Amino acid sequence: MFTKILALGLLAAAVAGASSAGEEVRKLTFDRNDALAGWTITGDVAIDAAKAREGKGGALKVGAGGKALLKLRDKDESGKVEIWVYDDCALPEDVKAHREGPRWGLVQSDGKVLAIGILYANYLGGNEGYTASACDGAKWFDRLFWLGVNRAPAGWHKWTFDFDPEAGLQVFHNDKEAKAVDSSKLDLTGFSAVAIWGDSGKGKEQTIWVSDLSVTLGGPTKFQPVVAGEADPYDDKAIAADAATNRPVTMYSKANAPAAPKLEDLPLKESVSQYGITWTFEKPSRAGQFVNGDWYVVGPVTVKEMAPKPLYGSEIPKRELDHMDKERKEEQRVRNGFMLNPPAQMKVAYDSGVRNYFDPSLIRKLPVAMKAGDSLVSTISMPKGLVLHAQLRNKIERGEGDSSPIRTAAVLTCVAEPQPADAFRPAFCDRQSKIHLARDLKRELLPAAAATSGMPSIRQYVRFTQRPWVGTCFFGFEEPVENMPQYGQEDGRVAGVAALLLCTDLKPEQKEPLLVNYVQIGIDLGGMIRAGHPGWSGWGGHGSGRKLPIVFAGLLLGDDQLANINQSFPKASFGEDEQTAYGDCWTGAKVVFAGHSGIDAATGVGRNTGRGNPWGPYEHMPPSQWGAGQKTSEAYRRANTSGCWVAEALALRLMHAEKAWGHDAFLEYVDRWMYENDDAFVQTLKEAINSDFHRSKFGDFPRQGFPWDAFAGTMWAKHRAALQAPTDGWKQKHDDSYYRAAMEKSPKPK
């Protein structure tokens, strides 16, 4: 059919050679009046002999309301189209009003298109760059991909549409991929035509020119757009169906302490499975389970297979590659990856879609030989198109924003001998494989504070804490979506509310499943610190929620090193501590929020410019002296930190664990947040910086006294004032030398 079209109309087309695949490449030029024979033309479309690229030939001129369509074949198949477009960077009067400027791209036989366009809207920068539109050819704003490609300077731009039979469509601008275009979301299975659409707006209409159209037609495609799916692994239905969450849990004590089984009493297993992951052994091996349900195997043992199967390089279907994968060399790509003895460092090799912290040198392949003391962390990768609800907030989709590409993870531990049924799994970063026992839990340290309204389902928090929190990195880039929260704010909320639930008057047997899970998380997080992990620094909302499970587990297990983690590891970072300090606040309070990035625990230096932004301590200054960085810190103080700390602080107070926590400024700061009336202060903010952080483009920012979780608020209202610790410590003068030293050491904020 393509040949027939050429014979009928493209008399000026010249055969330019063959592609690397042996397919014929045809170039179309516009230097003759009959060059448009075979095109379907509407409106202002003509040959412009004077508009030549590189000073020769002519161009196809498409004015306002014009359209030029070239049918290439009857079937939608693969191929490549290269097109040169001249953009003179003309603009309409109002660049924020909805308007369809010129567009060009591929057309499917059912009318669906993928076109590059100069589109204008209040949320688009059409005056600055290009947008890709995937639509039905009429509703151009249905599905957009902002390309981040500048229009300026005016001139010729080369656009390439490369539709691979397996991977789908890739778009290139001047031979550089426009990675924002996600082929799986285009609803295109191929193309049968190319088209150029003129400016559809009124007033100051823009004309574009097209030159040197090159076409290489391929064969049938195997590619199918991903059918988007959405699931919530934490809703009531999913939790009810989760066997691990609903497993029976025995309350072990010294009175009913179980003995370790004999080796021959353990079952011989060819494989064991957990959370959708199966490990198959080279030969049947003795296996058992820890108190939280995680598997161990008596070593040495060799894991010969895993399911889902780890995939490497070309084994990963092209259609499943996201923009991060494409930045890697093929031999560095991995799915469903695993790590034997993950380092307590911010680097992983589970999935090549991980941002920032992916280290291909850590990629391992089967078989895996394990000896006593080894921990094997295996993962299932997120497929493209799946949208998962995360804990309490956020929806996660592979390749979108900062989303993690890892769906779930499980830990297999190799031990030297069988373990008693009440043994906790040793921390997966702990090469000393320290075993704690549930019989040693000091449950008497848990208060029985009267539960209040708004109490969430304890089973939901059992599910939140059931799977291992294996996040050794930061920003949630590698955190399994079905295992743990995806943002530090929610780490703080889950950690705080879970601890608060354990401090209520629920029956001990109701608390036990959550208690076991929560202590296991504390063991894992504490194990990271013991193995040299730097901790979780203050960085906006990130960095919260890790310290409390460590301190909690240490107290309940009688592990003084964990219970007093600040004293044991004074240079380890925890967001709650780095972002709070005693100091004179502009409001009159004597404790301050130390900024988006706080004070570095390792150096004692306020992070004013060390990360390129003045996001360190700032509340000692009046708002009239604040710059953009200080406004950012105030926004994070209100939206992403203080409110999520309420449950944490109250649980610590109820347990009388202030000394173990080792940073009173945090506890006093939360008292300030809950008790300081900020009505007058927000008016000062409005007058000084023209913002009271109310009804911003991000929504309403919380006022002081707001807890993110209603249960935390009602528990605070009922119990905080009744505790022995004074509620007005935030008004009292404290030793603020730490804060003053941090200011002296740090560069002055700009």
pLDDT band for position 227 (50/70/90)?
Answer: low
Question: What is the spatial distance between Cα 524 and Cα 503, in angstroms, rounded to a whole number?
Answer: 22
Confidence band for 34, pLDDT divided at 50, 70 and 90: confident
- For residue 498, the one-letter residue type is A
- Encoded tokens for 602: 């390792």
Asked if the peptide bond before residue 300 counts as cis, ω within 30 degrees of 0, the response is yes
Contacts of 665 (CB under 8 A, 6+ apart): 577, 580, 581, 582, 591, 734
Residue 524, CA atoms < 13 Å, CB-side half-sphere: 27
Domains in the chain (CATH in brackets) are 2-217 (2.60.120.560)
Pairing of strands 99-107, 277-289: unpaired
Give the pLDDT of residue 750.
Answer: 56
Tokens representing 220?
Answer: 């049938």
Strand partners, 407: none
What share of the chain has pLDDT > 90, as a percent? Answer: 87
Distance CA 442, CA 519 (A): 11
The pLDDT score that the predictor gives to residue 691 is: 85
User: Which run of H or of E encompasses 488?
Assistant: helix 488-502
Which band of pLDDT confidence, cut at 50, 70 and 90, is reported for residue 13?
very low
Residue 223 has a pLDDT of: 81
Give me the chain's average pLDDT, please: 93
Provide the CA 108 distance to its chain's centre, in angstroms.
33
The pLDDT of residue 228? 67
Structure confidence by residue, pLDDT tens digits, 725-739: 999 999 999 999 999
**pLDDT tens for each residue of 467-500:** 999 999 999 999 999 999 999 999 999 999 999 9
Instruction: For 413-431, give one letter per residue: b (16+ CB within 10 A) or e.
Output: bbbeebbbbbbbbbbbbbb
Long-range contact pairs involving 563-567 (C-beta distance under 8 Å, separation at least 24) = 563/660, 564/660, 564/662, 565/526, 565/529, 565/662, 566/661, 566/662, 566/663, 567/662
pLDDT of 375 higher than 90? yes
What pLDDT, on a 0 to 100 scale, did the predictor assign at position 6?
A: 33
- Angle at which helix 508-530 crosses helix 547-557, to 10 degrees, equals 110
**Beta strand pairing status for 129-135 and 143-150?**
antiparallel
pLDDT at residue 409 greater than cutoff 50: yes
Handedness of CA 461, 245, 426, 261 (dihedral sign): positive
Is the pLDDT reported for residue 88 higher than 90? yes
Sign of CA dihedral 511, 515, 516, 517: positive
**How large is the average pLDDT for residues 399-409?**
95
Residue 25 has a pLDDT of 85
Whether the predicted pLDDT of 7 surpasses 70: no
DSSP string, 653-694: HHTT-HHHH--HHHHHHHHHHHH---HHHHHHHHHHHS--SS
Q: Rounded distance, CA 697 to CA 617, Å?
A: 25
pLDDT > 50? residue 463: yes
Encode pLDDT of 648-701 as tens digits.
Answer: 999 999 999 999 999 999 999 999 999 999 999 999 999 999 888 875 554 568
111: left (phi over 0), alpha (psi -120 to 50) or beta: left
Provide the strand spans (E) within 416-464: none
Token output for 468: 């291992």
- The C-alpha angle with vertex 123 and arms to 119 and 129, in degrees rounded to 5, equals 45
Torsion sign across C-alpha atoms 468, 447, 661, 728: positive
pLDDT in tens, 276-307: 999 999 999 999 999 999 999 999 999 999 99
Radius of gyration (C-alpha) of the chain in whole angstroms? 31
With a cut of 80, say whether residue 531 has pLDDT above it.
yes
Report pLDDT for 214.
Answer: 94
User: What does residue 137 show for φ and ψ, rounded to 5 degrees?
Assistant: 90, 0
* CA–CA separation, 391 and 737 (whole Å): 39
The 10s digit of each residue's pLDDT in 126-152 is 999 999 999 999 999 999 999 999 999
Report the DSSP beta bridge partners of residue 177. 172
| Residue 268: other Cβ atoms inside 10 A | 11
- Looking at the predicted structure, is the pLDDT value of residue 4 above 70? no
CA nearest to 339, candidates 410, 287, 439: 410
Which pairs with CB-CB distance under 8 Å and at least 24 residues apart come from 95-99?
95/120, 95/125, 95/126, 95/127, 96/120, 96/121, 96/122, 97/121, 97/122, 98/141, 99/126, 99/200, 99/201
Q: Tell me the C-alpha distance between 560 and 562, whole Å.
A: 5
CA–CA separation, 471 and 485 (whole Å): 10
What are the phi and psi torsion angles at 415 (to 5°)?
A: -120, 165
